[in-house]
């Protein structure tokens, strides 16, 4: 028996045409009503002392990306993704962790590839004798590079074909610059649950974000990086969002950092000899 109307055969772009005026109006109102939060302040590098000095030199982490990399929604970087990620890795590795962050609020994947990564100096420093980081001046290479990217490409409706090329190029550039590091690509957030977005705009952007996340995962696998999907359950807790209903709060950054640390270091390893490579520092493999 023939179906009277096969919705599955109608291109999604065609189905959205009747909604276009509503989506445009909702997007305009959302931009006007959403509070503009500043990036986090404070030092852009830090050091978390390990619980076991026999574990070897500090594990080095670089966070690169857009607004979530630079801590929009938190007051200080130490209370945003880089600081909480360092603490989570310290607990899993039981060794010191040095971290640094480089990014720009509003940056797209293309912007990160062409204007942010080329300016990096090689990552965060290790721990000198007095226990304070020196900001990468010793040229120490990172063990882990975390990329947060995608939300600005979503908002600007970057064509999916270009998004695919942008992600592939970004991963290739980072892998080339940090050949010995694990590259971890943070997955797209569950936009379909963002409190700041009204329906149907929330569902439309959420569906596109899921498609972008799939492309991101495939690009990571092809480029020798890892992909860490964001836990959708996080978005059900309003306390994990900042006041704008769009970015993570400090509690949200902490929860997200725990997931990223688990992806980078799946399980705490047995006691290692000084100088041994930690779990998660091996050549990267595609996750998910």
Q: What is the pLDDT of residues 229-239, one digit of tens each?
A: 998 777 778 88
CATH of 37-264, one of 3.40.50.1110, 3.40.50.720, 3.40.50.150, 1.20.1050.10: 3.40.50.1110
User: Which residues, other chains included, contact 127 with Cβ-Cβ below 8 Å and sequence gap of 6+?
Assistant: 47, 49, 57, 58, 96, 98, 133
For residue 229, give the nearest of 247, 217, 242, 215 by alpha carbon: 217
What is the number of alpha carbons within 13 Å of residue 25 lying toward its C-beta? 7
Give SS3 for 8: helix
Model confidence pLDDT, tens digit, residues 36-90: 789 999 999 999 998 776 667 899 999 999 999 999 999 999 999 999 999 999 9
What pTM did the predictor assign? 0.78
pLDDT, tens digit, for every residue of 91-106? 999 899 999 999 999 9
Residue 148: pLDDT band with limits 50, 70, 90 = very high
Cα separation, 268 vs 288, whole angstroms: 19
Count of Cβ atoms closer than 10 Å to residue 91 Cβ:
16
């Amino acid at each position: 028996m023939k179906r009277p109307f096969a919705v599955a055969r109608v291109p999604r772009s065609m189905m959205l045409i009747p909604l276009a005026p509503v989506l445009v109006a909702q997007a305009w109102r959302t931009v006007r009503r959403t509070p503009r939060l500043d990036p986090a302040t404070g030092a852009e590098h830090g050091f978390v002392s390990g619980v076991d000095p026999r574990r070897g030199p500090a594990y080095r982490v670089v966070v690169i990306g857009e607004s979530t990399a630079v801590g929009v929604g938190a007051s200080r970087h130490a209370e945003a993704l880089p600081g909480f990620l360092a603490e989570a890795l310290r607990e899993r590795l039981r060794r010191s962790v040095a971290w640094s962050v480089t990014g720009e609020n509003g940056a797209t994947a293309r912007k990160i590839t062409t204007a942010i990564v080329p300016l990096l100096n090689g990552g965060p420093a290790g721990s000198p004798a007095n226990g304070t980081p020196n900001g990468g001046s010793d040229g120490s290479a990172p063990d882990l590079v975390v990329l947060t990217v995608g939300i600005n490409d979503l908002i600007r409706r970057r064509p999916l074909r270009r998004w695919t090329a942008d992600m592939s190029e970004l991963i290739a550039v980072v892998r080339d610059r940090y050949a010995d590091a694990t590259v971890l690509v943070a997955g797209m957030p569950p936009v379909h649950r963002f409190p700041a977005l009204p329906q149907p705009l929330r569902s439309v952007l959420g569906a596109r974000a899921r498609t972008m996340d799939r492309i991101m995962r495939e690009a990571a696998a092809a480029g020798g990086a890892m992909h860490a999907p964001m836990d959708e359950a996080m978005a059900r807790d309003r306390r994990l969002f900042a006041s704008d209903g769009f970015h993570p709060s400090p509690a949200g950054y902490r929860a997200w950092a725990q997931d990223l640390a688990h992806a980078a270091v799946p399980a705490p390893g047995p006691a290692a000899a000084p100088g041994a490579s930690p779990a998660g520092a091996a050549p990267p493999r595609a996750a998910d």
